[in-house]
Amino acid sequence: MLKILIADDHEFIRNGIKQILFDEFDLLHVEEAADTEELLNLAFADEWDIIISDISMPGKGGIEALQIIKEQSPSVPVLLLSIYPEDQYADKVLAAGASGYLNKDSAPNDLVAVVKTILSGQKYVKNK
């Protein structure tokens, strides 16, 4: 069973991500966080195969949350999403320990492909 934690302050966006993943993966357990505090609480409450988080959330924000998660659980892969183009943030979040960075306007197939890449232990870097 694949365990995925999704963090975004917009419920319909969490729904969208969840739906795209449920369409692809048969055995999936998903938990959701609506802000950074909830994300950090849940991140350390269980073992996750991947954490997918928005970069801009109320509270500390996705990048600071990423740093905290990587300090305490270095092996858990984190994929950050945002509305900003890849070239604006990708290097920064990868340097901070993310396993990938994806723009929210990416096609559902791209999200699935990136999640699969990360689950296989690799990092996702667009066009590099």
Partner 1 sequence: MIRILIADDHAIVRRGLAQLIREEFASAEIAEVGDAEELIALVTEKDWDIIICDLSMPGRSGLDALRQIKQMHPSMPVLIMSMHDEDQYALRVLKAGASAYLGKDNIHENIIKAIRTVLLGKKFITPSIAEKLAEALENDANQLPHEKLSDREFDVFKLLAGGKAVSDIADQLSLSVTTVSTYRSRILEKMNFKSNADLTRYALNNQLI
- Give SS3 for 4: strand
> Residue 123: what residue type?
K
**108 counts as binding partner 1 under rule CB under 8 A:** yes
CB of 30 to partner 1, least distance (A): 13
Nearest Cα to Cα of residue 86 among 69, 101, 108: 101
C-alpha to C-alpha distances, 126 to 80, 89, 99, 110, nearest whole angstrom: 13, 12, 12, 11
Site string for partner 1, 65-84 (x = CB under 8 A): ----------------x-x-
Smallest gap, in angstroms, from Cβ of residue 94 to partner 1?
21
Q: Where do contacts with partner 1 occur on this chain (CB under 8 A)?
A: 10-17, 19-20, 81, 83, 104-108, 111
